[in-house]
């Protein structure tokens, strides 16, 4: 009788595992089936942002960080920041539902740069009249179902105050798209934001 009981318990445990796997399979199938519909519902009535914008910067789309710096955002791009005490802001195209971000541009304040040494892999440039360093690199190649990731980095030395601009893109990128350079050039930094805005207005009038 004891052997029969043990065999019965073993079969019952095995059956329970099979039931568990069936339930998991059903849940996974439902998620895969319903997820696109949920994404479409979240995106309904809201235009999606382009991974790389197709139109020139429009001053009406300027967004400002509480600390004072700002940038013109491409159409249908969203922003994220952590308030005036955190000197960074990220803008990115509105995604479809909860899908991954196709691209993102982040501005953050960094420590002072060493003016006597160009960081490895960077070339020295100027940005808005200040010394800067930039580079483009593919940080991840195509991996199974994951697309490659490319990063453009720009470090700016504004009289000893360092700023970092990063543009990340889910594709292989060997050159910064010219349209993105136009948007990056619209950045205004504190405390010269008002002065640079006035200068920009004067140049547009001319």
CATH number at residue 95: 3.40.1000.10
Q: Flag whether 202 is in a domain.
A: no
pLDDT per residue as tens digits for the range 75-95: 999 998 877 778 899 999 998
> Do the domain assignments include residue 112?
yes
Q: Could you tell me the residue range of the domain that residue 164 belongs to?
A: 59-197
In-domain check, residue 67? yes
Question: Which residues does 143 contact at the CB level (< 8 Å), separation at least 6?
Answer: none
- For residue 4, being part of any structural domain is answered with no
Please give the share of the chain, as a percent, with pLDDT higher than 70.
66
Number of structural domains the chain divides into: 1
With respect to residue 205, please indicate whether it lies within any of the assigned structural domains: no
Burial environment of residue 65 by CB neighbours within 10 A (0 to 12, 13 to 18, 19 or more): buried
Other beta carbons less than 10 A from residue 104's beta carbon: 18
Instruction: Assess if residue 185 is contained within a domain.
Output: yes
In a domain, 11, yes or no: no
Per-residue pLDDT, averaged over 150-156, amounts to 94
pTM above 0.75, yes or no: no
Examine residue 20 and state whether it is found in any structural domain, yes or no.
no
């Amino acid at each position: 009788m004891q052997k029969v009981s043990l065999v019965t318990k073993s079969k019952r445990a095995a059956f329970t595992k099979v039931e568990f796997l069936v339930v998991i399979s059903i849940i996974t199938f439902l998620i895969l089936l319903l997820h696109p519909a949920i994404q479409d519902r979240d995106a309904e009535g809201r235009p999606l942002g382009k991974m790389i914008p197709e139109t020139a910067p429009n001053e009406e789309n300027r967004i400002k960080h509480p600390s004072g710096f700002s940038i013109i955002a491409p159409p249908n791009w969203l922003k994220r920041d952590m308030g005036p005490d955190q000197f960074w802001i990220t803008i990115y195209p509105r995604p479809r539902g909860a899908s991954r971000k196709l691209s993102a541009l982040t501005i953050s304040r960094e420590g002072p740069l060493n003016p006597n040494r160009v960081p490895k892999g960077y070339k020295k440039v100027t940005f808005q009249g200040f010394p800067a360093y930039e580079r483009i690199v593919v940080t991840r190649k195509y991996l199974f179902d994951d697309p490659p990731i490319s990063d453009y980095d720009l470090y700016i030395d504004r009289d000893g105050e360092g700023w970092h601009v990063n543009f990340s893109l889910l594709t292989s990128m060997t050159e910064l798209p010219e349209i993105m350079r136009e948007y990056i050039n619209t950045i205004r930094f504190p405390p010269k934001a008002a002065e640079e805005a006035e200068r920009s207005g004067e140049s547009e009038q001319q």
